[in-house]
Structure 1
Amino acid sequence: MSGANFILLINLSVAGLLAASFMAVAFHDVGRAPARWLAFGYLLGMAYFAVEFSIPVFADARPVVVAAFAVFLGATIAFNGGLARKYDVAPPWPPMLFFLFVTTVAVYFVQDLPRQSLARMMVYQLPYAVMQFVGLAIVWSSRQRLARLDRILMAVLAASGLQFASKPFIAHALGGWGANPQAYVQSSYALVSQSLGTVFGLALALLMLAILVRDVLAEATSKSETDTLSRLLNRGGFTRHAEQAVLGAVRQGVPVALVIADLDHFKGVNDSFGHASGDRVIETFASFLREAAASHHVAGRIGGEEFAIILPGTNLAAARLFAEGARSAFGALPIDGLPVDNRCTASFGVAELHPSEDFADLMRRADQALYQAKNAGRDCVRVSAGPVNGQSSAAISIRADSGRN
């Protein structure tokens, strides 16, 4: 058995294992359309390697060569379909399928050219390069935020496209790709070509598996950190993300503030109008908080009717204004299921991180400021001016003019 034949068998086995891996990811989460397309792509890859391996048994292998080309190009198209689904880009099916048809026809007609013709080799290899660059364009055009793994994937797609484009020249330098299709597997070029295919095919597959598993884990983590009713972070999720935001603000040398809010007389809402109405109050305040928060803010529901939001890049004065604006706006909101003249209010505690503090200290002072706001009659904002002799001092009470309790 030639070295190229041996690598073909390895590629056939690897493609099968990769297809099974992507199918396992798809079965784990039936919503994973990217995994299904990638599994299909590697199944087509298996078919391609099987066809390549069978070429020597055909007296006239030209139709088989054309079929092998179409199957492998179809595999790259399916791979791009998986990329498009993963990166939330509309799959360019019509142009890709039209390209498949046109290039397959072109490969059929160039079979009459001299086998070692550079033009013939380029017609066979360049479509693969084009599909790799289409995949690169799909990832590049994504509206998602690209992480390091995504950028590595783009680099590997570019390198894979370049290696396909260079194969005609590699074949020419190595003395061609065999006197006929049957002799291909005995050529030095076949060994190099199949080896390159193994390296890039495996690299792309492992990267996509890593990216899909990363997304599955991130989704599972997000679900575990999300409060079902409010759709904000729960206490554990808020603490983790808030600590990271505080550390980031400290590293950047910018201020960071914390606002804690507690819904006033919430037990009375439940007792008077029922728990369904209480849930709607929670949902309304959470929705309001999501809309008021910027993309770099971290908001969460940290208790039954208690909420918190961390504000990186915000000092105490600006955080107080944020809290007062939230207090005033929420107090004017109608709540579904409550009488028209009934308005819900909230009390707020605000603190800014000081150099000697950590997140726990910040949380403690904001909570103490909230406690003072509740004792002051509710529907107001209290701010903690900062630690004094190990204790927190709270000052500046902002009360609603209406005098609501």
Structure 2
Amino acid sequence: MTAAFVLVINMCIAGIFAVAFGVIAATNRMARGAAFMAAGYALGIVDVALEFLLPFQTDPTPVAVSIFVVFLLALSFCLIGISRHYRVPTPRGAMIAIWASALLLAPLAFSLPYGSPARGMIYQFSYCLMQGLAGVVILRSGRRQALDLLLMGMQFVAALLYLVKPVIGMLVGTAAAPQAYMATTYAAISQTMGAVTLVAVAMVLLLVMIRDATAEMTARSETDPLSSALNRRGFELHGESALAGGTRGVLVAADLDHFKQINDSYGHAAGDGVIAHFAALLQDAAPEGAIVGRVGGEEFAVLLPDALLSDGRLYAETVRGRFAAQQLPVLGVDRCFTASFGVAQAGRGDTLHDLLHRADAALYSAKAGGRNLVRVALGELPPLPAMGAA
């Protein structure tokens, strides 16, 4: 009766998580793998239902084999779901090898006396490998946040528990036949272990999916879709956070020259292409840790952490030179374009607004000086002579 009660709990738990993952899959396209997790837990319901059929079978072998296959299939779906969520290629080769060994060894396992340690070990070994493979997938993802480490550890612990079950069977005893399984103490212990594992793994995985979906939504809300740089809100949030940490930084303000003429002469599609191309140059030339944002229509800002004014000026000159030298024939544009830059050094107590104001003043100086120039904020460094002004 105790094992049957735990089985009912397991069925309810599997149903709850099947619905939970299904809702996530249906409402959030960013939740990769949720649909497979829902399928895996749904198969868990089928597996428990087959356990309840087993006592009523004259020949238990067909139902027992079905239980074995359905549960292994459930673990396979969960493994695919984890692989997709973590953006790791599904280990198809390893999965095929596990399935092949399981199907080859199944006749041997079911030919051995029921309840024998050898039968239990062979029966549980495929489950152990499939569950452990899920931990390997998380390990290969390279993600090491607390929830990821917890989920990975739980996968390995769950895998080891399958190998512990035959030992428990030896200690407490098992039934003489499959039909009497639910009446044993071993069944109650085994199903309780399964319930705890089922809840723990599913809860942590749900938390991982919610965390990642929230982070992705936040990133999307802070990203300009055209340039793939931060939008103004994102730039201000990350820039203020960097300056609040006491970093010594330089801000580079940039503005495309005569952008209205680009739109008027070549169309808005060409203008969008120029913006995207310029943003790519800014990001490619930026050092690691730089914060790149599109803060206006054709206006950009780049915060270079732990940099000097000379570093900012060199960066701006590099981007300016590359941009002025390149044409964009793919957009039907047969001419080069230019941009102007202003550079300012963060001082003690400077806010991002202060830094942007000084960099903008230097940018306006570059515009007034003929465009296609780099200027530094007044009072910080005398400007270099114009290079390739246009």
1:147 corresponds, among 142, 145, 160, to: 145
Task: Report the equivalent of 1:219.
Answer: 216
- Once the two structures are TM-superposed, the CA of residue 299 in structure 1 deviates from its matched residue by 1.0
Q: Report the TM-score, using the length of structure 2 for normalisation.
A: 0.91
Task: Report the equivalent of 1:365.
Answer: 358
2:374 corresponds, among 374, 381, 384, to: 381
1:91 equivalent to 2:99? Answer: no
- Secondary structure in 2 matching 1:202: helix
1:194 equivalent to 2:191? Answer: yes
Bigger shift: 258-267 or 362-371?
362-371
Q: 1:6-405 counterparts in 2 under 5 A?
A: 6-30=5-29, 32-142=31-141, 145-173=143-171, 175-247=172-244, 250=246, 255-336=248-329, 337=331, 340=334, 342-384=335-377, 393-404=379-390
- Secondary structure in 2 matching 1:258: strand
State whether residues 4 and 182 of structure 2, in contact with CA within 8 Å, keep that contact through their aligned partners in structure 1. yes
Extract unaligned runs of 5+ from structure 1. Answer: 386-392
- Once the two structures are TM-superposed, the CA of residue 195 in structure 1 deviates from its matched residue by 1.3
CA distance in 2, matches of 1:205, 1:85: 16
Bigger shift: 222-231 or 161-170?
222-231
- Secondary structure in 2 matching 1:310: strand
**Which residue identity is paired with 2:366?**
A
CA distance in 2, matches of 1:300, 1:362: 14
- Secondary structure in 1 matching 2:87: coil
**Which residue identity is paired with 1:279?**
D
Bigger shift: 308-317 or 360-369?
360-369
State whether residues 365 and 384 of structure 1, in contact with CA within 8 Å, keep that contact through their aligned partners in structure 2. yes
- Secondary structure in 2 matching 1:307: strand
Identity, % of aligned positions:
40
CA distance in 2, matches of 1:176, 1:246: 66
Question: Which one has more relative contact order, counting CA pairs under 8 Å at least 6 apart?
Answer: 2
After superposition, the Cα gap between the structure-2 partners of 1:382 and 1:171, relative to the gap in structure 1 and judged at 3 Å, is same
After superposition, the Cα gap between the structure-2 partners of 1:65 and 1:257, relative to the gap in structure 1 and judged at 3 Å, is same
- Once the two structures are TM-superposed, the CA of residue 76 in structure 1 deviates from its matched residue by 0.8
After superposition, the Cα gap between the structure-2 partners of 1:402 and 1:33, relative to the gap in structure 1 and judged at 3 Å, is closer
State whether residues 256 and 313 of structure 1, in contact with CA within 8 Å, keep that contact through their aligned partners in structure 2. yes
- Secondary structure in 1 matching 2:381: strand
The alignment yields a C-alpha RMSD, in angstroms, of: 2.3
State whether residues 86 and 138 of structure 2, in contact with CA within 8 Å, keep that contact through their aligned partners in structure 1. yes
After superposition, the Cα gap between the structure-2 partners of 1:35 and 1:397, relative to the gap in structure 1 and judged at 3 Å, is same
- Secondary structure in 1 matching 2:383: strand
Give the total of aligned pairs. Answer: 389
After superposition, the Cα gap between the structure-2 partners of 1:68 and 1:197, relative to the gap in structure 1 and judged at 3 Å, is same
After superposition, the Cα gap between the structure-2 partners of 1:104 and 1:263, relative to the gap in structure 1 and judged at 3 Å, is same
